[in-house]
Structure 1
Amino acid sequence: MSSTGQQQVDLVVRTIAQAAVDNEKYFGDLDAVVGDGDFGYSLARGFENVLAGWDDVDRTDIGTFLKKIGMVITARIGGTSGPIWGTAFMRAGMTAGATDTLTGEQVVAMLRAAVEGIKARGQAEVGDKTLLDVLVPVTDRLEAEIAAGSDAAQALAAMAATAQEAAEATADMVARRGRASYTGERSRGSVDAGAMGVAVILGRIDEAWQREGAS
């Protein structure tokens, strides 16, 4: 898998932000099934701020850039989503460090760090019906694709497919974290909004990467 530079990191983060804004209603509708319905709104408001200040974000190196994005998200997204998504970006940035390029192995390490940060911040584990139920299998898939010699485009396509499958599988789970956990068994039968949010965003990243030939 070829190395990834600041331009590609910009593409990924900007795509995440735009996808969050574009899917505000969809994510909110998913969350309203068993949650309080504010997930779409909160995520969109936070990433609107990211886009509004896009050109002013410190790009000294990839780690600094991701940490700054995490700080904006934490400050601007309400509820539990802000700390969780902000922590993910900040942990990824801390792991990336002062570098201008990333190898596939480094990206895996960044995702693992983000996962651990989310677990600690949200007091959640895989199987609790959260975004972790997509992030962890997606990270595992990336690691497997790298080991198989896939390039970035192939790895992203595989990750997007894995994410969709994993998100849909959360419909069979009972929520054990967040507002949805208050509904107990009633949370079974609907997908987790955060998990599907990650899947939708990964699908958009895959499309953007193939379109712009960033591999």
Structure 2
Amino acid sequence: MELLNIVKKVSDEIIKNKEYLTDLDREIGDGDHGVNLARGFEKISEELPKMEGMKPADVFMKMTMLLMSNVGGASGALYSTALMKGGAVLKKYSEVTPEVMVETWDEMIKGIQMRGKAVKGEKTMLDTQIPAFEEFKKSVEEGKSLKESFELASEKAKLGMESTKDIIATKGRASYLGERSIGHIDPGSMSSYIIIKTISDELNK
């Protein structure tokens, strides 16, 4: 099942980048982003064989539970909320079309905004997610394929992630640093970029 292959690859990439994400977080946050996320995705990776034959909505819900119970800190709450909201959308459909993906991703972002009480431009994962989603939505509406839409979204995700270097943090532990948070990439925006780029790479294989 393609979804499970993508989840496996995303898990591998997060685990592989554990130290890097933790180093980014050490500069402006609690220093646990990579360690926490990797713990959650290690669990997801272990449980993947049990997800064979599951509907996409159920895969999302299973991942939600695994992240909730294994990832501490804000990242666990944000990513699991996103998956829970996305799973609720997928439940309504028998087929995952590009249009369904647009609705799913939109709800996931709303979940992150609701949970994190953040908007774009505050040096968070939303600075990666929102530009990527907007590009994805536009591409799907223009009739581009899922692969092409994700590829274009991935490019915008990269620009969004890089933009966090120039933003003063106003959310989370990084906000205590004020102007000293400038010059550092937000770890949540980087993990979001890794996830989006990995999905795009897998679809384009």
Residue of structure 1 in register with 2:198 after alignment = 204
Identity %: 30
Q: What is the CA-CA distance between 1:111 and the residue it aligns to? A: 0.9
Are 2:79 and 1:85 aligned? yes
Aligned AA (2:174): A
RMSD, aligned CA = 1.4
Aligned to 1:101, the other structure's residue is in SS state coil
Aligned AA (2:87): G
Residue of structure 2 in register with 1:155 after alignment = 149
Distance, in Å, in 2 between the alignment partners of 1:79 and 1:58 is 29
Question: Which residues of 2 match residues 47-86 of structure 1 at below 5 A?
Answer: 47-57=41-51, 59-86=53-80
Distance, in Å, in 1 between the alignment partners of 2:101 and 2:48 is 22
Residue of structure 2 in register with 1:3 after alignment = none
Distance, in Å, in 2 between the alignment partners of 1:168 and 1:87 is 24
Stretches of 4+ moved more than 4 A in 1? none
Distance, in Å, in 1 between the alignment partners of 2:141 and 2:76 is 33
Distance, in Å, in 2 between the alignment partners of 1:153 and 1:61 is 21
Q: Is the Cα contact below 8 Å between 2:22 and 2:35 reproduced in 1?
A: yes
Are 2:127 and 1:133 aligned? yes
Q: 1:119 to 1:58 in 2, by over 3 A?
A: farther
Q: What is the CA-CA distance between 1:58 and the residue it aligns to? A: 7.2
Residue of structure 2 in register with 1:4 after alignment = none
Distance, in Å, in 2 between the alignment partners of 1:59 and 1:86 is 22
Residue of structure 2 in register with 1:17 after alignment = 11
Q: What is the CA-CA distance between 1:89 and the residue it aligns to? A: 0.7
2:89 paired residue among 86, 92, 95: 95
1:27-71 C-alpha deviation (Å, 9 max, x unpaired): 111111111210000000011000111111375422122111111
Are 2:138 and 1:144 aligned? yes
Q: Is the Cα contact below 8 Å between 2:14 and 2:194 reproduced in 1?
A: no
Aligned AA (1:78): G
Aligned AA (1:34): I
Aligned AA (1:116): K
Aligned AA (1:62): P
User: What runs of 5+ residues in structure 1 fail to find an aligned partner?
Assistant: 1-6
Question: Which residues of 2 match residues 172-191 of structure 1 at below 5 A?
Answer: 172-191=166-185
TM-score by length of 1: 0.90
Q: What is the CA-CA distance between 1:12 and the residue it aligns to? A: 2.5
Distance, in Å, in 1 between the alignment partners of 2:183 and 2:59 is 39
TM-score by length of 2: 0.94
Distance, in Å, in 2 between the alignment partners of 1:129 and 1:203 is 19
Q: Is the Cα contact below 8 Å between 2:24 and 2:186 reproduced in 1?
A: yes
Aligned AA (1:54): L
Distance, in Å, in 1 between the alignment partners of 2:154 and 2:48 is 25
Distance, in Å, in 1 between the alignment partners of 2:91 and 2:38 is 27
Q: Is the Cα contact below 8 Å between 2:4 and 2:48 reproduced in 1?
A: no
Distance, in Å, in 1 between the alignment partners of 2:145 and 2:89 is 22
Residue of structure 2 in register with 1:27 after alignment = 21
Distance, in Å, in 2 between the alignment partners of 1:67 and 1:122 is 20
Q: What is the CA-CA distance between 1:87 and the residue it aligns to? A: 0.6
